[in-house]
Amino acid sequence: MHEWALAEAVISTAIKVAEEEKLKEITEIKIKLGELQQIEIEIFEFALKEIIQPQKQLLRKAKIEIETEKAILKCRVCGQEWNYGDAMKNLCEEESESIHFVPDIAHVYIRCPKCKSPDFEIVKGRGVWVESIEGN
């Protein structure tokens, strides 16, 4: 499950920032998840809590805020923009799972709803990033 690997990366980033900024404790971590990553939020939250346990001193008061950024796709041929969630409704479970593990494979399964081209860009809603870390 890549949720665990992502959770480890987030906590590792938070610890590194705390060390660089000489923070004694982290009070808040804001995380943004791109919809295209198809992260299971419950598993991700559980993984974060489990990974935080050994870091009790530094992270004991850390509030974790997670926000999902909706994915928007834009056709490079006709300029049409559409919602990734709508595109996923037309896919079977196997296709959806393929995109879950390798987001770039979306171009194999998803087409522009207007001109049917597979040539589109992901305008937003991709990736996982730490938006901010607060502490003292």
Q: Read off the pLDDT of residues 92-112 as tens digits, 9 standing for 90 and up.
A: 999 988 887 787 888 899 999
In terms of Cα–Cα distance, which of 90, 77, 69 is closest to 121? 77
- Of the pLDDT bands very low, low, confident and very high (cuts 50, 70, 90), residue 38 is confident
Of 35-39, 51-55, 103-107, 122-126, highest mean pLDDT: 122-126
pLDDT score of 27 more than 80:
yes
- Helix or strand or coil: residue 77? coil
Burial class (CB in 10 A: 0-12, 13-18, 19+), 71: buried
Q: CA-to-CA distance for 105 and 120, rounded, in angstroms?
A: 12
User: What confidence tens digit (pLDDT) does each residue in 62-97 have?
Assistant: 999 999 999 999 999 999 999 998 888 889 999 988
Q: What is the pTM of this model?
A: 0.77
Domains of the chain, earliest start first: 2-70+125-135 (3.30.2320.50), 72-124 (no CATH)
Return the pLDDT at 1: 56
